[in-house]
């Protein structure tokens, strides 16, 4: 992956990542895990993306670090969305866009490794029968590597 970041975080290591995986009972896709080891999140210089269906175009504002020394981070996002059962259990919030919609990665199932754009602003959390679903998820890429490789600069 050829990635340039304008904002980055303190480095992490495989022990911290393994602890996160063990604590949350998930397995991160290898390419995403390698990104965390090399960069531990950050704000890419090239950050524009489009969903595969063409319905959404946005910018990646931040990829969350695994460290607790910065907010938001992967641990706080897991607590907010997964522990509270707001997001399907196989998805992990890994980043956000300028209006705080969420970038997710699948950690298990038939779509493991896929990266999604979650239109959080469309969700209706106050519904009495709210259930986590893919209803407002749009596929961006079939892997984290593909997602990062497809980022582009706006056409100005």
Is 77 within the bounds of a domain? yes
Is 60 within the bounds of a domain? yes
Q: In total, how many domains does the chain have?
A: 1
Is 156 within the bounds of a domain? no
How do residues 104-136 score in pLDDT, each as one tens digit?
Answer: 999 999 999 999 999 988 877 666 767 788 989
Is 56 within the bounds of a domain? yes
Is 155 within the bounds of a domain? no
CATH number, domain with residue 27: 3.40.1580.10
- Range of the structural domain that residue 49 is part of: 5-150
Is 23 within the bounds of a domain? yes
How do residues 72-102 score in pLDDT, each as one tens digit?
Answer: 999 999 999 999 888 999 999 999 999 999 9
* Global confidence as pTM: 0.94
Note whether 80 and 92 are within 8 A (CB): no
């Amino acid at each position: 992956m050829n990635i340039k970041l304008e904002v980055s975080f303190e480095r992490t290591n495989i022990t911290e990542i393994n602890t996160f995986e063990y604590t949350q009972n998930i397995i991160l896709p290898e390419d995403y895990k390698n990104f965390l080891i090399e960069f531990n999140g950050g704000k890419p210089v090239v950050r524009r993306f489009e969903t595969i269906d063409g319905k959404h175009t946005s910018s990646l504002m931040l990829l969350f670090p695994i460290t607790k020394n910065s907010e938001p981070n992967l641990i706080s996002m897991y607590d907010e969305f997964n522990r509270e059962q707001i997001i399907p259990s196989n998805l992990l919030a890994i980043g956000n866009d300028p209006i705080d919609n969420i970038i997710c990665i699948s950690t298990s199932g038939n779509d493991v490794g896929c990266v999604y754009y979650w239109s959080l602003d469309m969700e209706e959390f106050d519904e009495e029968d709210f259930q986590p679903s893919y209803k407002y998820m749009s596929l961006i890429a079939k892997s984290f590597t593909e997602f990062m490789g497809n980022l582009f600069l706006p056409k100005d």
